[in-house]
Amino acid sequence: MSPRRTETGGRIDRLRTIRFTFDGAPYTGHAGDTLASALLANGVTLFGRSFKYHRPRGVLTAGVEEPNALVTVLRGEVREPNIPATMVEIYDGLAAMSQNRFPSLAWDVNAINQLGGKLLSAGFYYKTFMGPVVGPLKGTRFWMFCEHFIRRAAGLGKAGTAPDTARYERMNAFCDVLVVGSGPAGLMAARAAADQGARVILAELEPHFGGSANWSGETIDGMPAADWAARAAGQLEGHDNVRLLPRTTVWGYYDGNTLAAIERVTDHKETPDKGEPRHRYWTIRAKSVVLATGSLERPLVFPGNDRPGVMLAHAAERYANEYGVLPGHRVALFTNNDSAYRAALALKKAGAAVVAIVDARPELSSEMRKLAGETEAEIFSGHAVIATEGGKALSGFKVQRFDMASGALSGDARSIHADCLLMSGGWSPTIHLASQAGAKAEWNEALQAFLPPKPTTRQWIGAGAFTGSFSTAEAIAEGRAAGLSAAGATATPAALPAVGAAPGDPDPAPVFEIKAAGKSFVDFQHDVTADDVRLAHREGFVSVEHLKRYTTLGMATDQGKSSNIPGLAIMAEALGKPIPQVGTTRFRPPFSAVSIGSLAAERFGDLKPERLTPMHDWHVANGATMYSAGLWYRPMIYGHPGETIEQAYVREARATRESAGIVDVSTLGKIAVQGPDAAEFLDRVYTNMFSTLAVGKARYGLMLREDGLAFDDGTTWRLGEQDFLMTTTTANAGKVMQHLEYFLDVIWPELKVHVTSVTDQWAGAAIGGPNARQILAACVSGTAVDNAALPFMGIVHGEIAGVPVMICRLSFSGEMAFEVYSGAGYGTHVWEALIEAGKPFGLVTYGLEALGTLRIEKGHVTGAEIDGRTTGRDLHLDWMLSKKKPFIGSAMMDREGLIAPDRLELVGIVSLDNQPLNGGAHIVEELDEANPHGSLGHITACCYSPALGKYIALALVKGGKARRGTRAYVSDPLRNRFGPVEIVSNHFFDPDGSRMHG
């Protein structure tokens, strides 16, 4: 038997022993234990070291609000820091480590920080990291050097560097009623809503449904509350219209009643089942939400309140009742309210000796006197704890007479021996989600707590302790009413389950702090003391928002769940204002820590979908080196063994010019433009005329943006009187589609035109070269492909290898070339037939590199030149700017700035030192390697030209056209490339187009 495990009781499975390690030491616990309860059962009291001072810390709470007992959980090489030990369910093989200590938890060298209390007070960072402004160290990096060590000494756990191999998933859920929290209020709400036929989701952050019923020791409906809760949850599980989500924290409340939740699916398992995610990120869209999130007990602020062994009263009660663990054998209680007496009694019943009850209130009610009597404790009413004693564990504390009204201490202090001190400073409703939803909290003087406002819509409805109704009987009644209301039903009188509970007044005394010598902690996680809050006030921070940022109170992983109200009360007192005038901060998501993996969800490790052409597998099987172009994958080269990339593309480009080459152009954007007004629409979209285009012909078109800059180019084919096939660049296909849809939907809704993406409908192969026509003639049936039947920009329909194809004679390579389109499902079949037909002619397959080479040689533009900054004129496409009609961008294209003579214009560049050129390299008039300056423009695309036998490039150069025939230099200091170049026309090769016209 573990030293602090009770003989009986608790909801753990005592027949199942779980083995785990903490800081490498082996321990055992039982199924149902948290790491905190199991370690407490083993007699462990020291759980961690504090943030700044490295003070020894124990476990303060039993739930999600835990500020002290943060651990790092190890799974193989993966480490996850800052997990509250109270939220870790133990499993066989669990390995947990304490944090922020060196070399060990028990002997931490940075505990010396405790001696530097004044130095490390509020605003330490702001005062320290400014660096010396006078003296010999001024202007040096000395403080950067110091910062490294200071940062090492302060902090929480360390994140790991090993890749997280766990799986995360996203879920979308819709419901009529989302119930957050499954205490008696939540269970009643879920049942009431479900009985109305509503679709209900019940989310509970703990592993078991029931909330406080699991440890309150009360009875509901004549049975232990925990059994009632289990039965109620079981009944809900049988409803088809109810989804139960245990281990699920609803952490964000967003517009439109969209809530975010994280379900910890396998954190409690040694190994996940196949395919099972570690976490699910739920996006829940709820018509109505019942917030039954309960309340959080507040600590009292007094010197030494952070010593291991000092614990919230309800937490101790929970450890005793739910886990069968005594947090101490000699227990005392310090409280300002009645609720904690129940905890003292629970520990007494579990076997602890209750040595003292210290109550800040001068008088106790007869009911509390009776309860206190049952604990056999010595009662100190009108007293306060003024100090705690012990080292890494509590050994005792001191009490002194206390005047609640003035806060004054009087009389002699008395020492009391105890190994566990329970404290209770009242309760704060867990209003975080309501606050996120926009509700402004209202201060309740009687309860000394911020409460949510009464909701004015059905967006959300509160129930139970969340509303400040702290008794279980109230929770049950409110829960049912909220469930009915959320489901749109009217509450009718009904017999509610009877509750057997200890009596008690829910109103605490307005006591938050006992002022005495020593460090009194307000925010345990960030080591913020009551003196820090007062220091902030003295230094001029009067707003609660500034207080938070200056002292860091309420920050870090617990987000001040236990510290916000005490901190606010101390600030209010310093300001001499009532608490509601000081106000409170608005809670933001997340309510508690959320794994980054769950936010990435299915995109974790798989960032984007792959987009594949119909011939993708053929390319891979035939030696293509693929690379990504946006989401697409395209062949770069079809390299031969031993070839460099340059050798491969030069071979492919040269062979195309000498005989024939074929390239996969399926990625080109293709948009069906259909309808009676299709031609008129295209006239407005393109800079040139399309209504004059004959059926069966194609035309090259240029689009401008509304601001007059070039947008995209491509050919559009007229397949029928009212039926056009527009092609766009691969990169801009989506943008062009949106552009067209916008103009049809918003600007010209009167036009009868439909646009549809048909990019994926068609497989496209471009075959070009002197022998291209012969190859086509060898495999195409049903149509002639000679110059008469298929002139330049003509379109014919035929068959290749039994498959219908559409062939358009157009050229990007500058060769006699054809684009062959077939249904995508036949793409590979047609491609292979073309390859076969091309074998006698030495047809080569070529990739994007050769495609780029051929188009650079021809001076054709792509997205590298249509870069959002260039005009049609900059690219020498003036001839396409119709003067006969308006078009998108025509009103703006003649602006002064767009026709200025010194604009960057498209030119060709030839390397004069026979060395490669680089994209992005600058063109300059004077070479100055030491001080590069005077850029005339930059290179947009470059290659080795097999047709010219030179390294060439396209570039955008100031006044480029006028510079043709002049010398300049390439200046590329990043890649250390400098050298002479000649500026020439962008049409390097076959400028009169004789090859493609045949």
Partner 1 sequence: MVERQSPLEPVLHPGSHGNFEHGVEIILSETRPGSILQLAAWPGQEKALMAGIRTVTGLALPDGAGGGVTDGVRSVFGFAPGKFTMVDEAEGLASAFADVVTPSIGTVTDLSHGRTAIRIAGPKAEWVLAKFFAIDFALPAFPIGAGRSTMHHDVFAQIQRTGADQFDIYVFRSFARSFWKALCHASEEVGYEVQ
Q: Which residues bind partner 1 (CB under 8 A)?
A: 169-174, 199, 273-277, 283, 285, 602-603, 606, 608-614, 617, 631-632, 672, 674-676, 722, 752, 754, 756-763, 801-803, 823-829
- Cβ 740 to partner 1, closest distance in Å? 14
Contacts (Cβ under 8 Å, ≥6 apart) of 411:
400, 401
- Cβ 827 to partner 1, closest distance in Å? 7
Ramachandran quadrant class, 934 (left: phi over 0; alpha: psi -120 to 50; beta: rest): left
Candidates 685, 806, 811, 668; CA nearest to 728 is 668
Read off the tokens for 972: 């590329």
Candidates 333, 443, 351; CA nearest to 397 is 333
Spatial contact of 190 and 242, defined as CB atoms under 8 Å apart: yes
- Cβ 605 to partner 1, closest distance in Å? 10
Nearer to partner 1, 278 or 515 (CB): 278
- Cβ 783 to partner 1, closest distance in Å? 18
Angle at 869 between CA 863 and CA 871, to 5 degrees: 85
Spatial contact of 78 and 125, defined as CB atoms under 8 Å apart: no
Read off the tokens for 231: 């039965």
**Between the CA atoms of 526, 530, 534 and 536, what dihedral angle is there, to the nearest 10 degrees?**
0
Read off the tokens for 278: 């570690």
- Cβ 800 to partner 1, closest distance in Å? 10
- Cβ 233 to partner 1, closest distance in Å? 21
Q: Which residues pair with 164 in a beta bridge?
A: none
Amino acid at 73: V
Nearer to partner 1, 538 or 754 (CB): 754
To which residue do tokens 């490339």 refer? 977
Strand runs (DSSP E) across 366-444, as ranges?
A: 378-381, 383-390, 394-402, 409-417, 420-424, 427-429, 442-444
Nearer to partner 1, 132 or 825 (CB): 825
Nearer to partner 1, 689 or 751 (CB): 751
- Cβ 606 to partner 1, closest distance in Å? 8
- Cβ 484 to partner 1, closest distance in Å? 21
- Cβ 762 to partner 1, closest distance in Å? 7
Read off the tokens for 980: 């002479």
Nearer to partner 1, 270 or 786 (CB): 270
User: Which phi and psi angles does 617 have, rounded to 5°?
Assistant: -65, -35
- Return the DSSP state at 871: -
**Between the CA atoms of 410, 416, 418 and 423, what dihedral angle is there, to the nearest 10 degrees?**
-20
Spatial contact of 79 and 73, defined as CB atoms under 8 Å apart: yes
- Cβ 265 to partner 1, closest distance in Å? 9
Nearer to partner 1, 275 or 965 (CB): 275
Residues in the chain: 998
What's CA 87's distance to the chain center, in Å? Answer: 22
Burial of 8: CB neighbours in 10 Å, binned 0-12, 13-18, 19+: exposed
User: Which phi and psi angles does 103 have, rounded to 5°?
Assistant: -85, -15
- Cβ 932 to partner 1, closest distance in Å? 40
Nearer to partner 1, 146 or 620 (CB): 620
- Cβ 674 to partner 1, closest distance in Å? 4
- Cβ 611 to partner 1, closest distance in Å? 4
Nearer to partner 1, 101 or 279 (CB): 279
- C-alpha 853/C-alpha 842 separation (Å) is 19
Nearer to partner 1, 104 or 271 (CB): 271
Nearer to partner 1, 275 or 540 (CB): 275
Nearer to partner 1, 586 or 603 (CB): 603
Contacts (Cβ under 8 Å, ≥6 apart) of 495:
none
Nearer to partner 1, 689 or 803 (CB): 803
Nearer to partner 1, 85 or 615 (CB): 615
Burial of 76: CB neighbours in 10 Å, binned 0-12, 13-18, 19+: exposed
- C-alpha 410/C-alpha 155 separation (Å) is 39
Contacts (Cβ under 8 Å, ≥6 apart) of 691:
679, 680, 682, 683
Read off the tokens for 991: 């400028």
